[in-house]
Amino acid sequence: MKILDETSRTLNEFLLLPGLTTEECTPDNVDLTTPVVRHRVGEQSPVRIATPLVSAIMQAVSSPRLAVALAEVGGLSFVHQNQPIGAQVEDVRAVKRHKAGFRTSEINVKPSTTLGEVAQLLGDVDQGVAVVTDDGSAEGRFLGIIGPDDFHLHRHGSGEVVTARMRAYDELTTAPATISLSDANEMIWANRLDVLPVLDGDRLVSLVLKRDYQAHKTFHNASVDSRKRFRVGAGINSRDYADRVPALVEAGADVLCLDSSDGYSVYQKKAIEFVRDRYGEKVFVGAGNVVDARAFRYLAEAGADFVKVGIGGGSICITRDQKGIGRGQASALIDVVRERDAYAAETGMYVPVCCDGGLLADYHMAIALACGADFIMLGRYFARFDEAPSRKVRVEGQFFKEYWGEGSRRAQNAARYGHTGEISFEEGVDGFVPYAGSLADNVGLTRTKLKATMVSCGATTLRDFHENAVLVQVSERSYEQNTAEVRLRKRSVDAGE
């Protein structure tokens, strides 16, 4: 027996200290792009997402509809494996059948962003969109994205004036150096100019002639056209992988993930080895869940493409009460992240870490990212939205969505919990979460908050944030006081004060 010399800590036991915020450190410059699967240190991950949020491998969460909505805002869903192979394949196909559109505002680019990075970031971009670089070539610096016909696509917001710097083309020498986007539009229409605006995030950086646009469009088609469908992940288990994996790969699943409450097992190793033997590096498979360095290393050495952290912290989870197994999410994450970095230093291979479960507030996501998580898996958060598959119910005038754990009797997910036949005891509960509206609105708000936190901490990329975040543990007394203050504030809001 060994007793660790630590207290197991949760994410809400930490706060962030502000770092120096420079002039360049603005929300527009914050890039939330993150790697999903393993890659050599210093190279790009072959799968990256623009929003570091993925949806839980759960019946009540990851439906095709939610997967499309989440891919649209730059995240990734994992359709659940607790269903017959044919049904899960249909879920993957349903996502893949959707033709991907995109929102310009979700594509966060900086002047230094290369076209290659943009192509990664877009991943699923629709055919009729052109990527524009400063010299029109694949090596050129990325300037913006233009829609084929819909010029108005780029009128940001609802008629608000976006101040923008315009790099005038020769043909437009009369343009002042700084004009608003609406002025630019007026000028274009008034002069019947045959041009389209090019944006860098929200800023107009140049205008491009329509005849050049044709060239750009051709170029775009050549470079990113083969990937014009939404990305989707799929859960697998360590029992029927020999049948499930080939069916999911065939259906077009982009990333697989072993779904287990305890991933530190030889069964996961065997499943990963199956994928490697059969597909080499072409199929990506994550593993987990784990809560310490030993388990991370075991799965990383087995070839996992990412490792998921979290046991017992899920909002619907009672594993700790039933089996006495688990670890505070912050302690688990910090231990695993340290091992991820040690493994990268030793082997030159970076294996991303996903923080899974138990994040109840948006700021917990910021704390998890500051602790070194590459991306975050959420169940309760997504279960509250319109796009989640569960029923919306009204109780005493308030709307809720049903949300149940995969360890509950209702889910009967025997493979995830290592049961045979019917589950013999529950590790999850069946309940309700307050309905919260549309996924796009909520994820938009979360992104805004994450960016605001990173700006306060002086970070513009998640890598900066990992390296430079300063965290402090809060005392029990200060934690209690915070919650008491929140309660007081809520009471005064309720009382109309």
- The catalytic residue positions are 317, 416
Kindly write down the DSSP assignment for every residue of 307-374, as one continuous string. EEE-SS-STTB-HHHHH-----HHHHHHHHHHHHHHHHHHHSEE--EEEES---SHHHHHHHHHTT-S
Among 255, 283, 378, 415, binds ligand MZP (CB under 6 A): 378
Counting contacts by CB under 6 A, is residue 358 touching ligand MZP? yes
Counting contacts by CB under 6 A, is residue 74 touching ligand MZP? no
Give the phi and the psi of residue 252 in degrees, each rounded to 5.
Answer: 105, 15
Counting contacts by CB under 6 A, is residue 377 touching ligand MZP? yes
Question: CB-wise, 56 or 122, nearer to ligand MZP?
Answer: 56
Counting contacts by CB under 6 A, is residue 316 touching ligand MZP? yes
Stretch that binds ligand MZP, among 85-93, 186-194, 197-205, 371-379 (CB under 6 A): 371-379
Which residue number is nearest to ligand MZP in terms of Cβ? 428
Stretch that binds ligand MZP, among 266-274, 314-322, 346-354, 361-369 (CB under 6 A): 314-322
Q: Decide: residue 158, CB within 10 A, 0-12 exposed, 13-18 middle, 19+ buried.
A: exposed
Q: In terms of Cα–Cα distance, which of 231, 229, 191, 230 is closest to 207?
A: 191
Counting contacts by CB under 6 A, is residue 406 touching ligand MZP? yes
Locate 57 and state its tokens: 């491998």
Q: With contact defined as beta carbons under 8 Å apart, do 51 and 472 qualify?
A: no
Stretch that binds ligand MZP, among 7-15, 87-95, 191-199, 315-323 (CB under 6 A): 315-323
Among 357, 371, 373, 375, binds ligand MZP (CB under 6 A): 357
Kindly write down the DSSP assignment for every residue of 424-464, as one continuous string. SS-SB-EEEEE--B-HHHHHHHHHHHHHHHHHHTT-SBHHH
CB of 49 to ligand MZP, least distance (A): 16
Among 333, 379, 457, 465, binds ligand MZP (CB under 6 A): 379
Residue entry with tokens 């000028």: 187
Counting contacts by CB under 6 A, is residue 166 touching ligand MZP? no
* Binding residues with ligand MZP: total (CB under 6 A): 24
Question: CB-wise, 220 or 384, nearer to ligand MZP?
Answer: 384
47: left (phi over 0), alpha (psi -120 to 50) or beta: beta
| Site pattern 250..289 for ligand MZP (x: CB under 6 A) | ---------------------------------------x
Among 74, 326, 428, 458, binds ligand MZP (CB under 6 A): 428
Please list, in sequence order, all residues whose beta carbon lies within 8 angstroms of the beta carbon of residue 204, skipping any fewer than 6 positions away.
162, 164, 165, 166, 179, 181, 184, 197, 198
Q: Is 52 helix (H, G, I), strand (E, B) or coil?
A: coil
Stretch that binds ligand MZP, among 7-15, 123-131, 199-207, 401-409 (CB under 6 A): 401-409
> Is 314 part of any known ligand binding site?
yes
Please list, in sequence order, all residues whose beta carbon lies within 8 angstroms of the beta carbon of residue 178, skipping any fewer than 6 positions away.
163, 164, 165, 166
Q: Sign of dihedral through CA atoms 260, 49, 437, 360?
A: positive
Largest CA distance in the chain: 81
Among 286, 326, 405, 458, binds ligand MZP (CB under 6 A): 405
Question: CB-wise, 205 or 316, nearer to ligand MZP?
Answer: 316
Q: Can you give the binding site for ligand MZP, defined by CB under 6 A? A: 56, 58, 289, 310, 314-317, 319, 356-359, 377-381, 405-408, 427-428
User: Binding site membership: which residues?
Assistant: 259-261, 310-312, 314, 317
